[in-house]
Amino acid sequence: MKEINASEFEKEVLQSDKVILDFYSTECPPCEALATKFEDLAGLYGKDIKFIKIFRQQNRDLAEKLAVKSSPTLLFYKNGKEVADRLTGGIKRSDIIRNLDSMIPVEKVAQIKSQIKPSVSEYDVIILGAGPGGLTAGLYLCQAKVNTVLIDISLPGGHVSTTHEVSNYPGFIEPQAGYMLSHNMSEQTKLCGTVYKVAVDITSVDLDKKEVVIDEYETVRAKKIVIATGTTPNLTGAPGEKELKGKGISYCATCDGKYMDGKDVVVIGGGNSAVEESEYLTRFANKLTIVHQFAKLTANKQAQDKVFNNPKISLLFDTEPRTFIKEGEKIVTEIENIKTKVRQKLTSDGVFIFIGMKPNIDLFRDKLELDKWGYIKTDEDMRTSISGVFAVGDVISKKYRQITTAVADGTIAAMAIAKELD
């Protein structure tokens, strides 16, 4: 592995056979998450592919010339030409391996794979999921000197990291940008000493043995497990939705709202998320239509008032989407009034869907006692139906799902665990 600067790019990258190039920055949590994977893979693939790092902040001109817009960004070169997809953000080991494998002969890939040695690490507690619930459990456990590892399939932060503004988290007079709140929560837990294994693939989870296998070869064992895996947005199920996800249909206003400057937007849903995110979207959008299946909004009164007083927002009640079709740059949403059965078409530049959530329990669905909606049942100390397995946050069966309630659950589970381990 080698660190270069822009003046060496021509020789070290363009004149080399095969190269993986990491544009990294400091004070960049996803760069830190990538660093150990990069080093580990350099040990495996380093004889066949050059592993090069370049500090983006000190090599801005080159980064701009190569259209590198975020850190980290991984670029792959073969004989001076860029090959394979660029990787950015919370980069998974499996995605890097896929790209590296595509650059070398199949026999070589098999040879490298045969050298991979499975590893085993042991902790007191494994926390699955690094949203507010998992991060708080991690903080309390760490402060109680319990050896804890946080494992997340993505970067830390959970839903908060993509919420534009949080105005109801106690301790802050002004509304906080969601990404800053989640960043601070994550840094506080990390600084305490909790081990992070993030942006990983979870190969298997054995709740009875308290064993999690990540990235195929790494087994992580503990005495207790805390499930803090949160929820995933529901889909409408209308034809075209899956195909247009990320191509005009979005589930995250913070992520995609900024591309709606002066545009027409359709929002599906009528609960708090739909209404609050609609209000936010009108910072950019010219016109916004909320399509809601019931006769009244289900959001709280305060949020409803904002929408009713916003001249950019119009509402269609008793209406559901039937199909989503892309026509050029536009999305045509066919909607149906469920009372009159009359259908009409709404043409917009983007569709945002906020119609509730489903719990992330696919890896342990068959093992745990669940409520009728699939959320994990717990007792008042957050214990599940399996001994030594706790669950916290949005993934558990409860009435109110907020950052504060997830944080409270994480606190309770951590205190109960610390006491049990004592």
Ligand X SMILES: Cc1cc2nc3c(=O)[nH]c(=O)nc-3n(C[C@H](O)[C@H](O)[C@H](O)COP(=O)(O)OP(=O)(O)OC[C@H]3O[C@@H](n4cnc5c(N)ncnc54)[C@H](O)[C@@H]3O)c2cc1C
In the complex, least distance from residue 270 CB atom to ligand X, rounded to whole angstroms: 14
Nearer to ligand X, 51 or 352 (CB): 352
b/e map 62-78, b = 16+ CB within 10 Å: bbeebebeebbbbbbbb
Rounded to a whole number of angstroms, the minimum distance from the CB of residue 205 to ligand X is: 7
Q: Which window, 68-76, 118-126, 286-294, 395-403, contacts ligand X (CB under 6 A)?
A: 395-403
**Least CB distance from residue 221 to ligand X, whole Å?**
16
Binding-site member from 401, 408, 411, 415 for ligand X (CB under 6 A):
401
Give the shortest CB-406-to-ligand X separation in angstroms: 4
Q: Does 378 bind ligand X (CB under 6 A)?
A: no
Closest CA to 32 of 214, 202, 155: 155
**Measured from the CB of residue 118, what is the shortest distance to ligand X in angstroms?**
20
Integer CA distances (angstroms), 374 to 1, 295, 353, 364, 396, in order: 46, 27, 21, 11, 9
Residue 138 within binding range of ligand X, rule CB under 6 A? no
Instruction: Verify binding: residue 363, ligand X, rule CB under 6 A.
Output: yes
Least distance from ligand X to the Cβ atom of residue 353, Å: 11
Whose CA is closest to 194, among 165, 151, 153? 151
The interface region with ligand X, picked from 50-58, 156-164, 188-196, 302-310 by CB under 6 A, is 156-164
Binding residue (CB under 6 A) for ligand X from 30, 72, 138, 158:
158
**Binding to ligand X by residue 218, rule CB under 6 A?**
no
Q: How far apart are CA 109 and CA 190, in angstroms?
A: 35
Answer whether 14's CB lies under 8 Å from 71's CB: no
Separation of alpha carbons 218 and 233, rounded Å: 29
SS3 content of the chain, % helix, strand, coil (to 5): 35, 30, 40
Comparing CB distances to ligand X, the nearer of 74 and 228 is 228
Q: Which residue lies nearer to ligand X by CB, 52 or 153?
A: 153
**Segment 223-242, which members bind ligand X (CB under 6 A)?**
228-231
Tokens at 55, concatenated = 């500090």
Q: What is the DSSP string of 91-152?
A: --HHHHHHHHHTTS-HHHHHHHHHHPPPEEEE-SEEEE--SHHHHHHHHHHHHTT--EEEEE
Nearest distance from C-beta of residue 404 to ligand X, angstroms: 6
Report in angstroms how near the CB of residue 327 gets to ligand X at its nearest.
Answer: 28
For residues 300 and 308, what is the distance between their CA atoms, to the nearest angstrom? 12
- Select 16 or 411, whichever has its Cβ closest to ligand X: 411
Q: Give strand pairing partners of 20.
A: 51, 76
Interaction between residue 403 and ligand X (CB under 6 A): yes
Question: Parallel, antiparallel, or unpaired: how do β-strands 81-88 and 18-24 relate?
Answer: unpaired
Q: Tell me whether residue 255 or residue 338 sits nearer to ligand X (CB atom).
A: 255
Question: Min. distance of Cβ 354 from ligand X in angstroms?
Answer: 7
Interface segment toward ligand X; rule CB under 6 A; list 36-44, 67-75, 158-166, 345-353: 158-166
Site for ligand X in 177-216 (CB under 6 A): 202
Among 7, 119, 168, 286, binds ligand X (CB under 6 A): 168
Q: Is 303 in the site for ligand X (CB under 6 A)?
A: no
Minimum distance from CB of 202 to ligand X (Å)? 5
Identity of the residue, 330 or 401, whose beta carbon is nearer to ligand X in the bound complex: 401
SS3 81: strand
Integer Cα distance of 206 and 388 in angstroms: 12
Task: Return the half-sphere exposure (C-beta side, CA atoms, 13 A cut-off) of residue 392.
Answer: 33
Of 54 and 151, nearer to ligand X (C-beta) is 151
Mind giving me the DSSP string for 279-330? HHHTTT-SEEEEE-SSSS--S-HHHHHHHHT-TTEEEE-SEEEEEEEEETTE
Contact call for residue 133 and ligand X (CB under 6 A): yes
Give the SS3 label for residue 367. coil
**How far apart are the C-alpha atoms of 254 and 402, rounded to whole Å?**
18
Q: Which residues bind ligand X (CB under 6 A)?
A: 128-134, 151-154, 158-160, 163, 166, 168, 202, 228-231, 273, 277, 360, 363, 393-395, 401-404, 406
